[in-house]
Each structure stands twice: as structure tokens, then as C-alpha cells.
């Protein structure tokens, strides 16, 4: 007689017919959905990076004195015609506004702009190279800079180029210390050495210490200045390093006036002048093409502007009795000045939503309104950049060619 194992048979039948534990099934399903969503998001980001659009809406100049970016998280603006979004990307909630809030570069071939890309309740700060010609598949160099969370409000944006691939970006959060981030877009990583700066090195801030550092363009090594510029709140002026180091700030005494200091020996000695203009109305903008003739444009407390000039490399300064053809400026309006290779002086004022330009061909004594490139203008060592929509590049500050600037739409 064959004995049957009824106990074992019953266990097998129960195992084959037992209902599953639905809590376990639910957990497995949630994990599967999360994996699927992550995979989809990764694919979307990859597509966006390859198909990043090249339009921008509005622009602000490097380091201008303004109360905040045009694209405030609580503001909305329609997307301008020509702003392209990748068709494969899921559209964010709300309209997209992209704003160039600062820019700097070692030369026209290496200009980088901070772009704040916003929807009504969140922003993403991105760093991108301004491209003379579109480069398919090339997107931003960095995204998600400086903010703790997308809704955080920032102001006072700056970009300081230490070389053609090493940059320092910074901004001011409400109620907190200024924030800095170092970005290297090249193949040579930044490194700190015990060396001292050499003539021809670019200088800039690297953190919130208030000190300026120099960088060797070939090795990417940071080096210290023998002596820091003798001004408070130093800001490096956009003058080619071959024409010395030019720094604006506030007099170290108790005058509270605008001061300019220059060095021809990489920071070993400095020559400083106090300009007799109070520094509490607007940050001074310094411009020079040849390192001998230079101009400073500063806003005064009565919302007018003071224009000063040196013709001896900063040894002495004269205040020009120049009446700029501008209305009384909003205290937060952006402004700037550049000197062209022919010696002409171009100034601009942001009269939102437009820009007003004026040109002087007689050393800053008289100005006449002219047509401009459509945005703030900054100088680099071998040309000029207009941060309008679209951005434009120029060798002579007179003729301009459109450029492109990739950015990544905010993905929510």
C-alpha cells in the first residue's frame, strides 16, 4: 500500500491557491512606478540638454546696481516669439521667462552668462556660454546654481571670469550672506598655490572674504596678490589685464566716496584716487580701452549721473560737466559705460522695458542719443557683448552680430 502525505499535499495546495499579501503588492507597485518615473525624468533631461533653446527674453549687465532680476518668482511674463522649447519635453506649469542677469568673459570666444529661468513660483539659475554660432547638442554648463530651493529670491548677480574657463558666480539672497560658486568649464581644474600674482593675470573674488585672487590662465592655479587693493568693497573693472589692474570701491577713510585704485605690477603697489562722489547712490562703472584714458560713471543721490575721466592712467581724475540726455533715472535702473577702440564713449540706461543709448565722440564732453544693440553692453578684452534678446557680439562696439545662448527650461 502506498502511503499518501496528506499534510504535505495540503501545504502545496494552499501555497498554490493562497491569496497574495496586498500590502506587499502595493509596495512593489509603488517601487515600480518610482523607477519608471525616474527613468522618464532622466530621459527627458537628456533630451532637453541636447535640444536646449537659444532665446532669451531680457537682460541685465554684469554687476549693475538693481533691486533684483526681472524674472521674480512671483511675476509672470509671456514667452517671447522665437523662444523655443523642446517638443519632446513635458511643458512646465505656467509660462517660462529666461533672463540674463549677469555676464563676463576673458574674451569674445569665452563669454559666460548667468540665466535665471523661471516659471511663476520657481527659478533655476544656469550658467551658459554665449555662442557666436549655434552649437547643436550643447546646453548649459551648469544648472541649479546658488539657490537652496527653487522659490528662493536672489539679487545682485555677478559673474567674474578668472580665465577663459574658470568663473566665479555670486548673488545675494534676502537676509543672508552673499553666496559664491566656482565653476570650471575646461579641462584643467582650479588649484590653489603659494605663488604670487604675475603681470597679465586676471583677478577676481572667489568667496565672501572680500579678497581678490589671481589666476594663471595656462595652469588654472590661483595665486595671491602681494597686497590687496586699498579700497572697501572692491570690484574688478572690465579692463584687459595687459593694461593693468583696475578696481573700484569705496575710500578706506571716513569719506564714503567712490575710489579707484590701479596696479601695474600685479598688486605689489597700488595707486588710489578718491573721486569726490558719494558711494551710497549707485555702484560706479569704470571703462577703459587702452588703460590710459578711462571713465567712471556713477549715479548720484539726486538720481543724476556723474561722469569722471582720467587721461594719465588713473593718476588724476576730472569730473566732466556733462549732461547726459537721459531722464531722471529710477534709483534701481541699470546703467553702464564702455569705451570703443576709436575712443568714442557709449553709455546706456535701462528705461524699462527699453534701453536708451548715448554716444560721445569728444572725450565725454557731449553726448547724443543713438541706436543701440538692444540690451546692456559689457566689455571684454577684445570686444563687447550686448545682453539683449538675442545677445550680440561686437569687435568695435558699433557693428553687432547676433549670438545664441542655450538654457534648460524648468522641469517641474
Domain locations in the chain as residue ranges = 52-402
**Could you give the 3-state DSSP secondary structure of residue 143?**
coil
pLDDT for residue 353 = 76
**CA distance between the termini of the chain:** 72
Average pLDDT on 227-248 reads 95
Instruction: Give phi and psi for 379, each to the nearest 5.
Output: -105, 145
Task: Kindly report, residue by residue over 107-136, the tens digit of the pLDDT.
Answer: 999 999 999 999 888 999 999 999 999 888
Instruction: Please answer whether residues 69 and 60 qualify as being in contact, where contact means their C-beta atoms are separated by less than 8 angstroms.
Output: yes
Nearest to 336 by CA among 328, 345, 344: 345
Task: Kindly report, residue by residue over 266-276, the tens digit of the pLDDT.
Answer: 999 999 999 99
Instruction: Please answer whether residues 204 and 162 qualify as being in contact, where contact means their C-beta atoms are separated by less than 8 angstroms.
Output: yes
% of the chain at pLDDT higher than 70 = 75
pLDDT at residue 24 tops 60:
no
DSSP annotation of 64: -
pLDDT at residue 49 tops 80:
no
Instruction: Please answer whether residues 335 and 327 qualify as being in contact, where contact means their C-beta atoms are separated by less than 8 angstroms.
Output: no
Task: Kindly report, residue by residue over 330-378, the tens digit of the pLDDT.
Answer: 777 889 999 999 999 999 998 777 889 999 999 999 999 999 999 999 9
Whole-number Cα distances in Å, 55 to 158, 357, 406: 21, 23, 7
pTM of the model: 0.76
User: How far apart are alpha carbons 110 and 90 in whole angstroms?
Assistant: 32
Task: Give CATH for domain 52-402.
Answer: 2.130.10
pLDDT for residue 190 = 66
Cα dihedral 154→160→166→170 (10° resolution)? -20
Task: Kindly report, residue by residue over 143-166, the tens digit of the pLDDT.
Answer: 999 999 999 999 999 999 999 999
Average pLDDT on 213-235 reads 92
pLDDT at residue 391 tops 80:
yes
Task: Kindly report, residue by residue over 69-113, the tens digit of the pLDDT.
Answer: 223 232 223 223 223 333 334 444 568 889 999 999 999 999 999
Q: What is the mean pLDDT of the chain?
A: 79
Tell me the sheet residues that pair with 232: 250
User: How far apart are alpha carbons 170 and 38 in whole angstroms?
Assistant: 31
pLDDT for residue 21 = 40
All three cell numbers of 380, joined, read: 571684454
User: Any idea which residue has 560706479 for its cell?
Assistant: 284
Going 373 to 350 to 318 to 312, the CA torsion angle's sign is negative
Amino acid at each position: 500500500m502506498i502511503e499518501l502525505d496528506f499534510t504535505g499535499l495540503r501545504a502545496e495546495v494552499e501555497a498554490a491557491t493562497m491569496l497574495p499579501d496586498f500590502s506587499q503588492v502595493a509596495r512593489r507597485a509603488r517601487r515600480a512606478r518610482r523607477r519608471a518615473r525616474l527613468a522618464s525624468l532622466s530621459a527627458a533631461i537628456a533630451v532637453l540638454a541636447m535640444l536646449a533653446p537659444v532665446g532669451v527674453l531680457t537682460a541685465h549687465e554684469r554687476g549693475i546696481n538693481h533691486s533684483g532680476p526681472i524674472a521674480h518668482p512671483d511675476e509672470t511674463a509671456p514667452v517671447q516669439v522665437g523662444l523655443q522649447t523642446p517638443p519632446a519635453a513635458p511643458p512646465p506649469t505656467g509660462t517660462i521667462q529666461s533672463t540674463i542677469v549677469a555676464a563676463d568673459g576673458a574674451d569674445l570666444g569665452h563669454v559666460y552668462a548667468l540665466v535665471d529661468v523661471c516659471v511663476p513660483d520657481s527659478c533655476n539659475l544656469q550658467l551658459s556660454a554665449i555662442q557666436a554660432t549655434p552649437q547643436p547638442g550643447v546646453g548649459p554648463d551648469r544648472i541649479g546654481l546658488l539657490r537652496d530651493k527653487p522659490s528662493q529670491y536672489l539679487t545682485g548677480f555677478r559673474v567674474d571670469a578668472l580665465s577663459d574657463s574658470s568663473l566665479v558666480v555670486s548673488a545675494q539672497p534676502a537676509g543672508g550672506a552673499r553666496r559664491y560658486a566656482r565653476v570650471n568649464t575646461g579641462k584643467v581644474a582650479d588649484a590653489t598655490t603659494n605663488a604670487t600674482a604675475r603681470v597679465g593675470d586676471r583677478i577676481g573674488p572667489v568667496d565672501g572674504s572680500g579678497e581678490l585672487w589671481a589666476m594663471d590662465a595656462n595652469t588654472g592655479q590661483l595665486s595671491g596678490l602681494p597686497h590687496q587693493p586699498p579700497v572697501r568693497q572692491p570690484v574688478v573693472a572690465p579692463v584687459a589685464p595687459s593694461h593693468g589692474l583696475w578696481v573700484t570701491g569705496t575710500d578706506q577713510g571716513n569719506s564714503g566716496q567712490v575710489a579707484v585704485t590701479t596696479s601695474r605690477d600685479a598688486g605689489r603697489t597700488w595707486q588710489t584716487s578718491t573721486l569726490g562722489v558719494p558711494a551710497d547712490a549707485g555702484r560706479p562703472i569704470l571703462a577703459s580701452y587702452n588703460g590710459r584714458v578711462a571713465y567712471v560713471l556713477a549715479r548720484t543721490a539726486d538720481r543724476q549721473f556723474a561722469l569722471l575721466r582720467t587721461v594719465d592712467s588713473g593718476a588724476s581724475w576730472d569730473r566732466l560737466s556733462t549732461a547726459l540726455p537721459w531722464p531722471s533715472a529710477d534709483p534701481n535702473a541699470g546703467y553702464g559705460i564702455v569705451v570703443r577702440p576709436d575712443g568714442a564713449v557709449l553709455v546706456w540706461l535701462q528705461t524699462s522695458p527699453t534701453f536708451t543709448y548715448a554716444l560721445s565722440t569728444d572725450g565725454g564732453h557731449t553726448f547724443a542719443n543713438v541706436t543701440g544693440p538692444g540690451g546692456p553692453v559689457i566689455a571684454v578684452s577684445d570686444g563687447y557683448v550686448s545682453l539683449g534678446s538675442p545677445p550680440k557680439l561686437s569687435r568695435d562696439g558699433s557693428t553687432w552680430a547676433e549670438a545664441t545662448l542655450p538654457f534648460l527650461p524648468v522641469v517641474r
